Structure formats: C-alpha cells, structure tokens
Amino acid sequence: MEKKVLFVDLDGTLLTDSKEITPENLNAIRRATALGHAVVVTTGRPLASTAIQVEKLGLTTPGCYAITSNGALIYDAHAKETIFYQGVHRDCIREAFEEAYKFRIHPQTYSKTAALCEREDEEMQYYSASTLLPYEVVEDVTAVLEEDPIKLLFIDLRHRSHLEAFRKHMEPWAKENHIDMFFSCDMYLEFLPEGINKGSGVRFISDYLGISPENTLAAGDAENDISMLQAVHTPCVMKNADPEMFPYASYITERDNNHSGIAEIIEKFML
C-alpha cells in the first residue's frame, strides 16, 4: 500500500464549532497513521496554537508535520523543529496597522509565543480564547518584534464588509510590498508574504516526504484553503463550507465539521 497524505484544515474542518475534535475524527486519524499514512494539520493558526492541537491528536510521532500560519511556518512535530519560515517584512507593518485603525478594524501580528496588538479590545480577547494563544498589548508592535512576523491578521467580528473594503483599499500597498491578502473566515483577513499560502506548504511537505501527487488529499472550508485544494490530487470540501467553495472540490462531504466529516474522508479515501 502506498503512503498517502491528508492535509487538513482546523477551524470549520477538523474542529467542531466549539473548537473540539470528535472521537470519530480522532479515531480515524489514528487508524490512518497506524497504516503508515500521514495527516498534516494545515492551518492559518500560528505555531504556538497549532502545537496544542497536534499534541491532542497525537501527531507527534516520526514523520508528523504541521503547516502553520497559512504556510509561513512549517514544523516537524516529532523533532519539534521549524523546517521552513518566511515572514512579513517589518518595515511595512506600521502603515498597515494605521490604515486598519482608520477602518476601525483590529490589527494584530505575532511574536514566537504570542499574538501582539496595540489596543485591548473584544476582537483580541475573542481570538485568544478561540485559539488558546496568549496575547500582549504593546505600545508599538514594530518596536518589540525580534524578527519578521509570520503574518498580519485583521479582525472584525461583525462586519465582513468592513474587511472587504479594507482589502480593496490596501491593494496598491500589498502590490508594492509583495503581500497576498485573503480571508481565512468571515471575520479574519490575513496578510502573508507573496506566494506563501497553504498550497506552497503542501508542495513543500509533499516534496520533503517524497509523496507522489496522486497520493495527496486535502480538506478545507474557507478561502484560505483554495490554494491547498488546488495543490492536491483529491480536494475535499466540507458540507458546511460556503457554497462558493464547492467548485474547488472533487468530493464534498455528506457530514459537516460538527459530525466528523474528516472521518468520512479518511474512511473513503485512506482506509
């Protein structure tokens, strides 16, 4: 039996709406990895948050990896080592934050261990609680960063239209600074280095593990999953995804993220 690899998104895909992993999903993952297949968590979350889920899943044995921050950081979960990293250049961050404030949008970025913001607000509290990632409120994020951060994240908990207007406004800036912008959910707008996305992470891991393209699968539900779905042989979209995502799928699950849709994929294509 040839080794297969499933690249799986977390929020809205592997995790339920309450951010839990169903016993059925967990059991299916363990059955697949016991057969020698790989399951790679592929998420917009930063490493500090992703590592918690990787530990819960038991995906820390040799050959286990995680694609974090939408491809900006790739992690060997067994060796606990970063094997790929590309950040957003620090020189462009101040302007992005100031423009976000004009749109009354919450901006944040990241250190190695925490989210960084400049104002205590509801959005920061919500993000921290939902990702289990601590945060720090500082006077100027650019003054405390020790390296180029993995990404910038802009949050509006109630009005996606505000984020859409902000994205359109930032298009000239993004082009000048070689930044790609995309939604990871209706409330989160992500800024990453140009060409860095889940798809680039998928290609890196597939090459790194020597897995042939026909043995690659992916499961996702949101705009930031499109590049990942386009990079694999068998792209699967969750039943609960926005219908605009369905054209990117060769398979749409019958069960949603709250009812073990990932177990369905694993049972159909890997076991």
pLDDT value of position 176? 96
pLDDT value of position 190? 95
pLDDT in 10s for each residue of the chain, 271 residues: 789 999 999 999 999 999 899 999 999 999 999 999 999 999 999 998 899 889 988 888 877 899 999 999 999 999 999 999 999 999 999 999 999 999 999 999 999 899 999 999 999 999 999 998 999 999 999 999 999 999 999 999 999 999 999 999 999 999 999 999 999 889 999 999 999 999 999 999 999 989 999 999 999 999 999 999 999 999 999 999 999 999 999 999 999 999 999 999 999 999 9
Entry pTM: 0.87
DSSP 77: T
**Region of residue 260 (left: phi > 0; alpha: psi -120 to 50; beta: else):** left
- CA of 113: how far to CAs of 23, 116, 188, in Å? 29, 10, 20
DSSP 128: H
Give pLDDT tens digits for 170-220: 999 999 999 999 998 899 999 999 999 999 999 999 999 899 999 999 999
pLDDT value of position 16? 96
User: In what side-by-side order are the strands of the sheet with 81-85?
Assistant: 81-85, 73-76, 65-68, 38-42, 5-8, 216-220, 234-237, 251-252
Separation between Cα atoms, residue 82 and residue 87, nearest integer Å: 13
Q: How many CB atoms lie within 10 A of CB 223?
A: 20
pLDDT value of position 18? 92
